[in-house]
A and B are shown apart, each in its own frame.
Chain A
Amino acid sequence: MQAFLDIFDIYLLEAVINGILLGGVLALLALGLNLIFGVIDVTWICYAELVMIGMYAMYFMVQYYGVSYFVAAPLTILLVAVLGAALHYLVIAPLLTAPPINQLLATGGVLFVLQSFATVAFGIDFRNLGIRLPVLAFGDMNFSYARLLSFVAALVGMVAVYLFMTRTFTGTAIRAISQDRQIMALMGVDTRRIYLITSALGGALAGLAACLLVLQYDVHPFVGLSFGPITFLICVLGGLGNFIGGFIAAFVFAEIISLGGLFSDLEWGYVLAFAFFIVMMFIRPAGLLARRR
């Protein structure tokens, strides 16, 4: 019995730590989405599909053209950042004065476009980078090196965004616009430029997430659907546009998924996370950190 408990605890601890590692990437995804929502007041339904395109970019650069991973990563981040800016310029900008639902549905159309573009261009095969990172053994516990790397990179990315937002003029302008979008235009801030920069930044975060996720998961045209919904759940649970809330919610969700996966299939982890989400909607409908009115 004692031996059983020991093993059980080790697995539990491993699941908890894996959950934290997963939380890092989820928090990164949620941050990008929250940024777009907080500043432009638009939800990119196709956010996870941008990540998917980034993953393909990584795959082709590393596998086909033999580019080193560390050279390919900045290129991918740049590419997805450009995609994000293009998405804003082509789809969101003409709809800025339209009802918010229309903007959201238009990005739903972009989701279709990106998904089927990937299907048409790359086929529906599962592809992976072919990089096998070693497994880190710590005591009796095994951690994937890829996850550790993702976690650290995600944290670095988030800190970089935080510094950008607090220490630079542009970052300050972005935060100011998220507080009042009418007044800032009167204060001499070019809102269109700020929106474009924010979209590019959101895209860059998706690109970074792509570089990290491609280490752990196979890429296929529908890969976005496997972490897209969970990202939206996280953002809603944290309060849309609330960066800290999204950060905390990401870790809560990652733990639920990881621990749920420990006791059963990974899918049941997702189901548990959703059940938790519904309960939280009753308790804190405006997000984890919302003040009660």
Chain B
Amino acid sequence: MTGQGRLAAWGVGLAALVALPFFYRDPYHLHILVLILIWSFAYTSWSLMGRFGLVSLGHGGFMGIGAYVTALLWNHLGLSPWIGIPIGMVAAGALALIVGYPCFRFRITGHYFVLVTLALSGIVLQVITATRDYTGGSLGYTPNRASGNRLLALQFDDKTTWYLIALGVWLFGIVVWHWVDRSMARYALEAISEDEDAAAAAGVDVTAEKLKITLISALMTALAGAIYCQYQMFITPDTVSGIAVSLQMVFAAIVGGLFVSLGPTAGAVITILLAETLRIKFGTRAVGWDNLVYGVLLVLFIIFLPKGILGSLLDRLKSQRKVSRAHEQEAAQIAHPGT
């Protein structure tokens, strides 16, 4: 696809997405779409790091912080989410830096990094549960209904409004993804993920580059958590925080495809539709079945289709067309290290 054609396709697609709620108003389907968009944004945020081999299982923690800080500030201090969300994001970012700095400074990579971040999300969950006097513990937490200005409280009953907000946030995530994709940081991070020593020798500031992408990713994930909280108006530690949420992000991003911009979105569509279909088909009997299917799929995908559904599909299209563009071949090599 040429650059202009691609841009046109994006434009048409976006216009259709923006126009959708004005023609199609089924609240259930809009609800599913909103959920897909919010989670897509979270998964995209995760994949910003994940595609460079920085596999974090701590993102459940960042998401939980974003959601809970926003809701707590609103309920206890009456601080509008417009201020609360940035504070929540800053808190998540600060935590990301505190954990990230020693990890990157002291070369904690691979298994170690995954386990440290895994602990991070576990502990955020514990803190939320332990401070049950404020956060409601594992019973969940509901932001107070706004009595005055709805816009100030960022609470809307209208699904269309939420759809547009979620669409905007999701688009922001995609834009950031492309921005990182075209930046120098991408090459630096790719070099780091191949060989840290060589990258450092070539003049890449390994610690700073990794911290930068971690910070961006954590901030965006916290935003996703806060938006999710504002939309659902009910959060529990298990739905926005903890290891299960972190693994869910990894899973969706990998199933969709880590190395393409719409991969995490494809992952969100697949996983949420799967969960909803199972829920409707089997009702309460389906408790646990969706995760069972997720888990089996995740294992199968990692073994047989490590580039994800969308990634593999695009690859196949590309090889048929025999387009030879240097950076895409490069991406294919990174996706298949060792070939």
* Docked-complex contact A105 and B55, CB < 8 angstroms: yes
> Main secondary structure on chain B at its contact with chain A?
helix
Which residues of B, 235-282, contact A by the 8 Å Cβ criterion? 242-244, 247, 250-251, 254
Given contacts A109-B299, A285-B108, contact A104 B126 (CB under 8 A): no
Closest to B125 in A: A225
* Docked-complex contact A101 and B53, CB < 8 angstroms: yes
Q: Hey, what's the 0/1 contact readout for B96-136 against A, CB within 8 Å counting as 1?
A: 00110011011110111011101110110011011000000
The residue that B302 contacts in the complex, of A37, A43, A105, A229, with Cβ under 8 A, is A105
Which A residues lie within 8 Å of B306 (CB)? 98, 102
Task: Determine if A270 is an interface residue (Cβ-Cβ < 8 Å).
Answer: yes
* Docked-complex contact B250 and A108, CB < 8 angstroms: yes
**Complex CA–CA separation, A270 to B119 (angstroms):** 10
**Complex CA–CA separation, A112 to B297 (angstroms):** 10
* Docked-complex contact B243 and A229, CB < 8 angstroms: yes
* Count of inter-chain pairs, beta carbons less than 8 A: 148
The residue that A124 contacts in the complex, of B57, B102, B287, B298, with Cβ under 8 A, is B287
**Complex CA–CA separation, A45 to B127 (angstroms):** 22
**Complex CA–CA separation, A91 to B106 (angstroms):** 31
* Docked-complex contact A109 and B99, CB < 8 angstroms: no
Which A residues lie within 8 Å of B102 (CB)? 278, 281-282, 285
* Docked-complex contact A99 and B115, CB < 8 angstroms: no
Task: Determine if A179 is an interface residue (Cβ-Cβ < 8 Å).
Answer: no
* Docked-complex contact B337 and A99, CB < 8 angstroms: yes
- Binding-face segment, A51-59, A114-122, A156-164, A165-173: A114-122
* Docked-complex contact A106 and B130, CB < 8 angstroms: no
* Docked-complex contact A104 and B55, CB < 8 angstroms: yes
B288 CB → nearest A CB, Å: 3
**Complex CA–CA separation, A11 to B114 (angstroms):** 37
* Docked-complex contact A105 and B254, CB < 8 angstroms: yes
* Docked-complex contact B298 and A106, CB < 8 angstroms: yes
Closest to A104 in B: B114
Which A residues lie within 8 Å of B290 (CB)? 116
Which residues of B, 173-227, contact A by the 8 Å Cβ criterion? none
**Complex CA–CA separation, A265 to B137 (angstroms):** 13
The residue that A278 contacts in the complex, of B98, B105, B296, with Cβ under 8 A, is B98
**Complex CA–CA separation, A108 to B99 (angstroms):** 22
The residue that A120 contacts in the complex, of B98, B287, B303, with Cβ under 8 A, is B287
The residue that A113 contacts in the complex, of B126, B287, B295, with Cβ under 8 A, is B295
Task: Determine if A232 is an interface residue (Cβ-Cβ < 8 Å).
Answer: yes
**Complex CA–CA separation, A37 to B112 (angstroms):** 11
B197 CB → nearest A CB, Å: 14
**Complex CA–CA separation, A24 to B247 (angstroms):** 29
Closest to B294 in A: A112
* Docked-complex contact A240 and B112, CB < 8 angstroms: yes
A101 CB → nearest B CB, Å: 5
Q: Number of A interface residues at 8 Å Cβ cutoff, please give it.
A: 51
Task: Determine if B289 is an interface residue (Cβ-Cβ < 8 Å).
Answer: yes
Which A residues lie within 8 Å of B299 (CB)? 91, 106, 109-110, 113
Task: Determine if A89 is an interface residue (Cβ-Cβ < 8 Å).
Answer: no
**Complex CA–CA separation, A225 to B124 (angstroms):** 13
* Docked-complex contact B296 and A113, CB < 8 angstroms: yes
**Complex CA–CA separation, A121 to B124 (angstroms):** 29
**Complex CA–CA separation, A95 to B299 (angstroms):** 10
Task: Determine if A286 is an interface residue (Cβ-Cβ < 8 Å).
Answer: yes
Which B residues lie within 8 Å of A60 (CB)? none
**Complex CA–CA separation, A102 to B119 (angstroms):** 19
Q: Hey, what's the 0/1 contact readout for A222-256 against B, CB within 8 Å counting as 1?
A: 00010011101101100010000000000000000
Q: Hey, what's the 0/1 contact readout for A205-222 against B, CB within 8 Å counting as 1?
A: 000000000000000010
**Complex CA–CA separation, A112 to B301 (angstroms):** 14
The residue that B126 contacts in the complex, of A45, A99, A267, A286, with Cβ under 8 A, is A267
B277 CB → nearest A CB, Å: 16
Closest to B254 in A: A105
Known: A106-B298, A119-B288. 18 other contacts (CB 8 A): A95-B303, A98-B302, A100-B110, A109-B251, A109-B295, A110-B299, A112-B251, A112-B294, A113-B291, A225-B244, A229-B119, A229-B243, A233-B115, A240-B115, A268-B130, A270-B126, A281-B108, A282-B106
Listed from nearest, the 4 A-B pairs whose CB atoms lie closest are: A112-B295, A119-B288, A109-B298, A229-B122
> Can you give 5 contacting A-B residue pairs, CB < 8 Å?
A101-B110, A106-B298, A112-B298, A229-B243, A285-B107
B→A interface (CB under 8 Å): 53, 55, 57, 98-99, 102-103, 105-108, 110-112, 114-116, 118-120, 122-123, 126-127, 129-130, 242-244, 247, 250-251, 254, 287-292, 294-299, 302-303, 306, 337-338
